[in-house]
Structure 1
Amino acid sequence: MKHLSLILCFLITTSLFSQTSTQYKTPTKQQLDSLKTELETIFMKDQTFRRIYIEAEEKLGKDSEAYEYFWKVVESQDKILENEVTGIIDKYGWLGISQIGRLANTTLWSVLQHGSVASKEKYAPLLKTSALKQESQPIHYARLIDRMLINSNKAQLYGTQINYDNEEPTFFEIKQPELVDKRRKEIGLNSIKEYAKSRKVEWNVTQEK
């Protein structure tokens, strides 16, 4: 989609968006503790159905109406959680690990991963800023961007998305694969070769320095 391409280009090439005190409210210690608990609960809700989807597929049948309904329930829940999380981000900005802990911070990304394209586009710059400050995990930003691209039939940038449908797992197409390490390093990720090894995927593209 042309619109998505322009947005992604904007995310990658423009200067980082800053979270200033005039944009967001500064939460108190008590509010941060409350937000931490709230987000950890949201994470549990976000993951519950996904932890049993394979079992549901086996018991209900992949092409059954019951399994289709199962995912309709999941999608309905996703929308509710997306509204809750974006409401928090709109009020307080992208809360970092030092503020709410690693799990609650992960919740912001996890819910967006399952949310709308519009939300991904809107909040990706905040996640990137947070990751570069080491207040969020760089892999979360990379996965968010790569998934948007793959879902739009475009080449990914960071090599986080792997196709397991074949006999041997392979990376979905990567844009200018000889430059992927440079892009990964810019946001704080290890080399694509190390990542490939951890995922048992073959990688032999020489990287430009």
Structure 2
Amino acid sequence: MKIKFLFVFFIVYAVACKQKENYTEVRKTLENILEDDQKYRNPVYDWKKQNPLDRKNIKIVTKIIDSLGWLGAEKIGKNANLAFFVVIQHSHELSTMERYLPVMEEAAKKGNADKRQLAYLIDRIELLNNRKQIYGTQYSIRENGAFFIDNLIDSSQVDVRRKTMNLEPLNNYFKVLKSAKN
């Protein structure tokens, strides 16, 4: 009886170990990609240096998502998960953004992607398709330094829509942008 118990215990343990995957290398790769994504964007965007990095990063990120899915912060950590979003958001190809939008939407439903980030991707895609943005995440700056949101669907209801994506009201968003600028 003791041997049978130990055998069953060993089988259950082995299966559990096999199911718990180790994403250490994926996490490290994505954390490095996140650094690369921001390398030449701040404080001034140097597109000649950043664009080749973006092209390299999108190839790696899409291979990871295509093979493993949108893993989520619980499996790979907050920064590695953020890399998925920023690389897709900064993709130079609308078709790539559109291809991974449903993947990100499904990941957000499962809690593996941030709904706020999803709103940013949706708005960027809408504007690139010459449509109005939904959540007001994409802004411009006037010559006098004032922030404004252009091409917005039903501006009177924007804060209601923003709330569904865990975004702060537009007035608070402008305050955050202004403080970051200074």
Equivalent-residue separation in structure 2 for 1:91 and 1:194 (angstroms): 39
Please name the residue that 1:191 is paired with.
169
RMSD: 2.4
Equivalent-residue separation in structure 2 for 1:27 and 1:113 (angstroms): 31
After TM superposition, list the pairs within 5 Å mapping 1:45-194 onto structure 2. 45-51=36-42, 53=44, 71-115=47-91, 116-167=93-144, 168-194=146-172
CA deviation after TM superposition for structure 1 residue 128, in Å: 2.2
TM-score, structure 1 length as denominator?
A: 0.67
The answer to which structure has the higher helix fraction is: 2
Spell out structure 1 runs of 4+ moving beyond 4 A. none
Contact 2:39 2:50 in 1 (8 A): no
Aligned length: 160
Equivalent-residue separation in structure 1 for 2:104 and 2:148 (angstroms): 27
Q: Does 1:34 align with 2:12?
A: no
CA deviation after TM superposition for structure 1 residue 161, in Å: 1.3
Equivalent-residue separation in structure 1 for 2:151 and 2:81 (angstroms): 29
Please name the residue that 1:203 is paired with.
none
Equivalent-residue separation in structure 2 for 1:128 and 1:152 (angstroms): 19
CA deviation string 1:18-77 (max 9, x = no partner): xxxxxxxx98532x11111110011111111213535xxxxxxxxxxxxxxx52342222
CA deviation after TM superposition for structure 1 residue 194, in Å: 3.2
Unmatched runs of 5 consecutive residues or more in structure 2: 1-17
Equivalent-residue separation in structure 2 for 1:117 and 1:181 (angstroms): 26
Please name the residue that 2:15 is paired with.
none
Contact 1:132 1:187 in 2 (8 A): no
% same residue:
31
Structure 1 residues 126 and 175, CA gap change in structure 2 (3 angstroms): same
Structure 1 residues 112 and 138, CA gap change in structure 2 (3 angstroms): same
Please name the residue that 1:60 is paired with.
none
Higher relative contact order (CA 8 A, sep 6+): 1
Contact 1:27 1:92 in 2 (8 A): no
Unmatched runs of 5 consecutive residues or more in structure 1: 1-25, 55-69, 201-209
CA deviation after TM superposition for structure 1 residue 160, in Å: 0.8
Contact 1:150 1:172 in 2 (8 A): no
Equivalent-residue separation in structure 1 for 2:124 and 2:163 (angstroms): 19
Equivalent-residue separation in structure 2 for 1:141 and 1:166 (angstroms): 29
Amino acid at match of 1:148: I
